[in-house]
Amino acid sequence: MRFSHILGTMILLAALCGTASSSQARDTDHYQALKQFSQVLDLIEKNYVQEVNRTDLIHGAIEGMLNSIDPHSTFIDLDKFKMMQEEFQGEFGGIGIQIGVRDKRLTVIAPIEDTPADKAGLKAGDIIIEIDGVSALDISLEEAVSKIRGPKGKAVVLTILHKDSQAPEKVTIVRGTIPLISVKVKELEPGYLHVRVTDFKANTTEDLHRKLGEYTANTELKGIVLDLRNNPGGLLNQAISVTDTFLRDGLIVYTQGRDPKSRKDEMATKQSTDVTCPVVVLINSGSASASEIVAGALQDRKRAILVGERTFGKGSVQTIMPLSDGSAVKLTIALYYTPSGRSIQASGIDPDLELPFVPAVENTEDGTEFRESSLSKHLDNPNGATLAGSMENEVKDALAKDNQLRIGLSMVKSLPRFMQLTN
């Protein structure tokens, strides 16, 4: 007994000494690294061919350090931090485009619907080669955003290599005011809605509930086609609350950092705003981050059918950490997992029905359909139903040109009742 006690004590002391030794080694390495950084900083300040600003050097060093970790961790200076806050809370001047770095190339994740970038023909997967004649090779994401944004009415020239093209082209885009309208609702047929969520801003869930409430005040909701195509993501809490709209209980998503104890579960709760009708979700390669959380949760929980193409595959969580001078660090702190435990990082989410987007073939040379309502002095429908120049005509054109939306509507109309939420 005495021997075992002595032995246990010796083992404990050895462990403590080992821990102390490891800690001292880390402290020594830390000191040496800081010493090396200080030496390089001093050498640049004293010997560089031109006078340099110390703050700029330090900011550049921090940015380089973070960029070496992963494509999403980065340094955000004061001006860029203010710009980021504007993006989530108010209007800003720009072209309306979400970009990222893929294979070291500046790539369009998704254009925001009805913005200058969207109208100029930019698509998910396009590569930005130059910005105003300056190479975008090895440019940081934050620098690219800063260059592309700017005052309303001022043009930016992008050299674009479209994903389906062999040669780049220059595209001149006049910047506009980018509104933060992230939810668009349109009736496809009585009782069936096309709900388009373009990204996840601070007011996305509130806007969704308001627009659905306005519709259901007068019409029974029979089904929703939830469109997350080209949705680049946004705020995690908004993705969670939007998903919660379609679930009564259970797991939505969980995040897991380096520490095994850091797991955080996000759960659905029963609410008066819950949507109980069948749901089809449209996805494509431009569906990223927060939109993948929504799609993955609804798929895993058997709450919706996913139609379209495999998603982008951004399964990491970033947090913004303000610094004392007003700048900030955006740091990847965790990965998120769908309810079944899937990480979609670099793999994406596969749809239940693989359906590539197929551009529609126009019916006439000028791209318009010719029917009775096109005739001059045609008789109106006695019930007041006319397609010419109406919302119904817009919907019909959208369905004719969008095979994914068309199939989504057909599927949501035929989904069995078990796809509905019950009490």
In a shared domain, residues 171 and 213? no
**36, part of any domain:** no
Under a CB-based contact definition with an 8 Å cutoff, are residues 108 and 91 in contact?
A: no
**295, part of any domain:** yes
pLDDT, tens only, 51-104? 999 999 998 999 999 999 998 999 988 877 877 776 665 567 899 988 888 888
How long, in residues, is the chain?
423
Compute the distance between CA of residue 100 and CA of residue 166 in angstroms, rounded to an integer: 21
pTM, to two decimals:
0.73
Domain boundary among 151, 178, 205: 178
**66, part of any domain:** yes
Question: What CATH number is associated with residue 139?
Answer: 2.30.42.10
Backbone angles phi, psi at 179, to 5 degrees: -75, 155
**79, part of any domain:** no
Compute the distance between CA of residue 342 and CA of residue 323 in angstroms, rounded to an integer: 34
Confidence class of residue 143 from pLDDT cuts 50, 70 and 90?
Answer: confident
In a shared domain, residues 200 and 57? no
Domain boundary among 129, 161, 178: 178
354, β-bridge pairs: 308
What is the predicted pLDDT for the residue at 373?
A: 54
In a shared domain, residues 212 and 346? yes
pLDDT surpassing 70 at residue 365: no
In a shared domain, residues 200 and 171? no
Under a CB-based contact definition with an 8 Å cutoff, are residues 204 and 182 in contact?
A: yes
In a shared domain, residues 205 and 331? yes
Confidence class of residue 391 from pLDDT cuts 50, 70 and 90?
Answer: low
The SS3 of residue 42 is helix
* Total of domains in the chain: 3
Under a CB-based contact definition with an 8 Å cutoff, are residues 125 and 110 in contact?
A: no
**333, part of any domain:** yes
In a shared domain, residues 62 and 101? no
**Neighbouring C-alpha atoms within 13 Å toward the C-beta of 96:** 29
Question: What CATH number is associated with residue 194?
Answer: 3.90.226.10
Domain membership of residue 45 as a residue range: 41-70
In a shared domain, residues 257 and 396? yes
Give the mean model confidence (pLDDT) for residues 152-163: 93
**How, if at all, do strands 279-283 and 305-308 pair?**
parallel
Compute the distance between CA of residue 146 and CA of residue 63 in angstroms, rounded to an integer: 15
In a shared domain, residues 227 and 343? yes
Q: In the predicted model, what is the mean pLDDT of the chain?
A: 86
Compute the distance between CA of residue 412 and CA of residue 281 in angstroms, rounded to an integer: 9
Q: Which residues are catalytic?
A: 289, 300, 314
Give, as one character, the DSSP assignment of residue 405: H
- Residues with Cβ < 8 Å from 114, sequence gap 6 or more? 96
- Residues with Cβ < 8 Å from 334, sequence gap 6 or more? 255, 256, 257, 262, 316, 317
In a shared domain, residues 388 and 300? yes
Domain boundary among 108, 143, 178: 178
Under a CB-based contact definition with an 8 Å cutoff, are residues 180 and 203 in contact?
A: yes
pLDDT surpassing 80 at residue 386: no
Give the mean model confidence (pLDDT) for residues 166-193: 92
In a shared domain, residues 206 and 308? yes
What are 162-170's contacts with CB under 8 Å, separation 24+? 162/123, 162/126, 163/123, 163/125, 163/126, 163/127, 168/129
pLDDT, tens only, 190-239? 999 999 999 998 889 999 999 999 999 999 999 999 999 999 999 999 99
**373, part of any domain:** no
**95, part of any domain:** yes
In a shared domain, residues 141 and 120? yes
In a shared domain, residues 246 and 388? yes
Higher pLDDT, 44 or 179: 44
**378, part of any domain:** no
